[in-house]
Amino acid sequence: MKRRGRGRGRAKERFDWALQKIVRSNTSGFKLLFLHVQVPDEDGFDDMDSLYASPEDFKNMKYRDRTRGLHLLEYFVNRCHEIGVACEAWIKKGDPKEVICHEVKRVQPDLLVVGSRGLGPFQRVFVGTVSEFCQKHAECPVISIKRRADETPQDPVDD
């Protein structure tokens, strides 16, 4: 299961890690489930600075919202089909912590793999982390794949 849209390159690294360390050559013994969680802006409106001059502009915005993260899920599904691993993928919108744990309860996976952004202690106190929340609340074992220190941006805004 995938947590959210930021860090798409790292998502591919987590995916490759899971294939190498968990699936290995036992491709018929697994079914991988991929979840992409879109995070709405705090005000609930993602395109506040956009200009809308026609009904078509709103259609384009809705289409863009639906396709965010879709290319990443497409990559995962295509890769799974190439190597013969059964899979499913879907997109949900909301707070990643809540959505992931809700979906874990709904689909009951054997294992949840999430990435870790590598927040510092100060940031963790105020922001909290999705991976820590999932480790405490998901109703299955959770593996959190840490980011290397050299991959962590100096400014969390860049993450």
Q: Say which CATH superfamily domain 8-158 falls into.
A: HUPs (3.40.50.620)
Alpha carbon distance 8, 11 (integer Å): 5
pLDDT digit string (tens) for 19-73?
999 999 999 999 999 999 888 765 455 555 566 677 887 777 767 766 767 888 9
Q: Please give the Cα distance from 85 to 19 (Å, whole number).
A: 10
pLDDT digits (tens, 9 = 90+) for 58-117: 777 767 766 767 888 999 999 999 999 999 999 998 999 999 999 999 999 999 998 876
Distances (CA, A) of 14 to 30, 41, 122, 133: 16, 25, 25, 18
**Global confidence as pTM:** 0.72
